[in-house]
Structure 1
Amino acid sequence: MIIVPEREIPALLTREASYKAVSDVFAAMASGDAYNFPVVREAIGHEDALYGFKGGFDRVGSTLGLKAGGYWPGNLEKHGVINHQSTVFLFDPDTGMVRAMVGGNFSTALRTAAASSVSINHLARKDAKVMGMVGAGHQAKFQLRAALEQRGFEKVIGWNYHPEMLSNLEEVASEAGLPFEAVELEGLQEADVIISITSSFDPILLENHVSPGTHIACMGTDTKGKQEASAELVAKATLFTDEVAQSVSIGECQHAIAKGLIKEGDISQIGAVINGAHPGRSSDDEITLFDGTGVGLQDLAVSAALVDLAIEKGVAIEVDL
């Protein structure tokens, strides 16, 4: 069995490798060559932790496995480690034997950013110039770095419930040589692309915050009850997602479905756009929305790439099991 320790992963995994792995697995999902297993997620009644499993099988990538982990809200304060903790296990689909154990913390951040980046590449207007961010936490920095590589952006604007955290976005914009401006939510009308990455249970983005032709990537809603965009805004957009079943149950589309504003058939897989089976954006005035719920196959694809990189770089640890 190969072990790729968490400490080695930041030096191994690039945004380019993450993008390719996520794009390829989305395409495989849309063509019916890969599927996710039902998600298990439980409050364990200890340390207020949420713990669960995401897994799946990709025939194209010959990838089988699961990600185990969750959220321990007191970790940083009590133990000095990040609150989100996860580990990925890969198995040989031909024999069922365990192939690898891979740290899942840093890779989760990159695969989440890669998903929104894929959606921007395939759905945003080609002339997009202003990048908008809703949310300015740790994950927002990964999101913004990946997004800025997809278009010739000239400016970054951002809003956060705690304005003092907007320095995170300004730092990334500065790295890219771009100006940054803090705005009120109405100011997001200037944006050509908007990424929302929050843990909100109430809608933040409303119809009057978004201009025609905008592409929105809602990346924070991954649990029943969470919500970043109003149901009315979701219903106004042309909708895409990583996996439709998750979009309607735990993703951004759950609320518009519940209100009867949209049907499950109104949501398309982003992989269908990658494969050419769906045309994607149809006009410059169309609002497109990607509901990034996060699927286990993303983690498996990125972890499989990490195993290859670790072996190539000589940092993989091999053990008998």
Structure 2
Amino acid sequence: MIIVPEAAIANLVTPEASFAAVEKVFASMAAKSAYNFPVIREAIGHADALYGFKSGFDRAALNLGLKSGGYWPGNADKGLTNHQSTVFLFDADTGRCRAVVGGNLLTALRTAAAAAVSVAHLARRDAKVLGIVGAGHQAAFQLRAVAAQRPFERVVAWNRSPEKLSGLREVAEGLGLAFETVSLDDLGAQADVIVTITSSFDAILGADQVRPGTHLACMGTDTKGKQEVDAALLGRATVFTDEIAQSTTIGEAQHAIADLTLRLEDIVELGAVINGDHPGRSSDDEITLFDGTGVGLQDLAVAAAVVDLAVERGVATEVEF
């Protein structure tokens, strides 16, 4: 069995590699050669933690396994990341455990990569202004990954506590992008692409705050009840997702489906666009929205790439198991 610890991940994976792995997974899912198993996510009644499993199997890549982990809100006080996870990969031919991989940085990178893939395939080509809603740990990853997909010139951002946007400003300016803290109204009026990355259970962005032609990537924490944007916005938009089942139960589409603003058959798998089975954006005035729910296959794909590279570079630890 191969062990790749969390400390080794940063030197083994890049945003570009994460993008390629996630894009390939979305294509495989749409082609029905890869599928996710039902998600388990539970409040454990200790440390206010949410804990769960995401798993699946990609027949094309032979990636079989699961990510185990969750959210411990008190970890920041202990000098730890609130999100903690580990990826387990299994040999699809024998069922033996092939690898154990640290999953914290991988989760951040694959989440950012999913938003980036959506921007690459759905945003207007002339997009110049990137809007970010949220300033948590994941926001900087989103900014770096998405900024590489279009010739952005400026970043406009909003957070409930504006002072927390200072770190995001540093990232933007490090990328050579002007940065401005704005109101939600101004963000919607200026942004060509909007990424929401919060843990909200109440809509932050309203349908009337988003202008025609905008692409949105809703990437915040997915669980029953979560909501980052008004359900009416999904009614105005063409809605894409990584997996329809998760989008409608724990993702951004759950509220729009419940109040009949959106029909199940109106939601499109992003992989269908990647495969050429759906045209994606149809006009410069169309609002497109990607509901990124974070599927287990993404974790497996990026983890498998890390394992292969760790073995190639001789930095993997192998143990009898």
Normalising to structure 1: TM-score of the pair?
A: 0.98
1:166 is displaced (CA, Å) by: 1.1
Q: Please give the residue correspondences for 1:269-280 in structure 2 after superposition, counting only pairs within 5 Å.
A: 269-280=269-280
1:221 is displaced (CA, Å) by: 4.2
Whole-angstrom distance in 2 between the partners of 1:276 and 1:269: 11
Match of 1:242 in 2: 242
Whole-angstrom distance in 2 between the partners of 1:24 and 1:253: 23
> What amino acid does structure 1 have at the position aligned with 2:169?
E
Match of 2:123 in 1: 124
1:208 is displaced (CA, Å) by: 2.2
Alignment partner of 1:263 is 2:277:
no
Q: Please state whether the residue corresponding to 2:140 is helix, strand or coil.
A: helix
1:279 is displaced (CA, Å) by: 0.3
Match of 2:316 in 1: 316
Whole-angstrom distance in 2 between the partners of 1:233 and 1:130: 20
Native 8 Å contact 1:239 1:266 kept in 2 = yes
Whole-angstrom distance in 2 between the partners of 1:179 and 1:49: 37
Report Cα offsets for 1:176-203 as digits up to 9, x if no partner.
Answer: 1111011100012110000000011100
Whole-angstrom distance in 1 between the partners of 2:75 and 2:180: 33
Aligned residues: 320
1:234 is displaced (CA, Å) by: 1.1
Match of 2:165 in 1: 166
Whole-angstrom distance in 2 between the partners of 1:186 and 1:47: 37
Q: Please state whether the residue corresponding to 2:11 is helix, strand or coil.
A: helix
Whole-angstrom distance in 2 between the partners of 1:245 and 1:298: 16
> What amino acid does structure 1 have at the position aligned with 2:183?
E
Match of 1:111 in 2: 110
Gapped regions of structure 1 (runs ≥ 5): none
Q: Please give the residue correspondences for 1:144-159 in structure 2 after superposition, counting only pairs within 5 Å.
A: 144-159=143-158
Match of 2:190 in 1: 190
Whole-angstrom distance in 2 between the partners of 1:175 and 1:313: 30
Match of 1:23 in 2: 23
Native 8 Å contact 1:87 1:102 kept in 2 = yes
Whole-angstrom distance in 2 between the partners of 1:32 and 1:138: 33
Whole-angstrom distance in 1 between the partners of 2:190 and 2:157: 11
Match of 1:60 in 2: 60
Report Cα offsets for 1:23-46 as digits up to 9, x if no partner.
Answer: 000000000000000011111111
Whole-angstrom distance in 2 between the partners of 1:159 and 1:210: 14
Match of 1:82 in 2: 81
Whole-angstrom distance in 1 between the partners of 2:210 and 2:43: 36
> What amino acid does structure 2 have at the position aligned with 1:86?
S
Native 8 Å contact 1:221 1:227 kept in 2 = no
Native 8 Å contact 1:221 1:252 kept in 2 = no
Gapped regions of structure 2 (runs ≥ 5): none
Whole-angstrom distance in 2 between the partners of 1:205 and 1:291: 14
Whole-angstrom distance in 2 between the partners of 1:75 and 1:184: 30
1:207 is displaced (CA, Å) by: 1.7
Q: Please state whether the residue corresponding to 2:10 is helix, strand or coil.
A: helix
Whole-angstrom distance in 1 between the partners of 2:113 and 2:74: 28
Whole-angstrom distance in 2 between the partners of 1:85 and 1:221: 14
Native 8 Å contact 1:192 1:213 kept in 2 = yes
Whole-angstrom distance in 1 between the partners of 2:247 and 2:202: 17
Native 8 Å contact 1:201 1:228 kept in 2 = yes
Whole-angstrom distance in 1 between the partners of 2:129 and 2:75: 36
Whole-angstrom distance in 1 between the partners of 2:38 and 2:93: 22
Match of 1:133 in 2: 132
Normalising to structure 2: TM-score of the pair?
A: 0.98
Match of 2:43 in 1: 43
Report Cα offsets for 1:76-125 as digits up to 9, x if no partner.
Answer: 21x32111110000001011111000000000000000000000000000
Deviates more, 1:307-316 or 1:266-275: 307-316
> What amino acid does structure 1 have at the position aligned with 2:68?
A
1:163 is displaced (CA, Å) by: 0.1
Cα RMSD (Å): 0.7
Q: Please state whether the residue corresponding to 2:142 is helix, strand or coil.
A: helix
Match of 1:100 in 2: 99
Whole-angstrom distance in 2 between the partners of 1:118 and 1:85: 24
Q: Please state whether the residue corresponding to 2:68 is helix, strand or coil.
A: strand
Whole-angstrom distance in 1 between the partners of 2:125 and 2:261: 29
Native 8 Å contact 1:2 1:101 kept in 2 = yes
Whole-angstrom distance in 1 between the partners of 2:80 and 2:159: 24
1:266 is displaced (CA, Å) by: 0.6
Moved over 4 A (4+): none
> What amino acid does structure 1 have at the position aligned with 2:95?
G
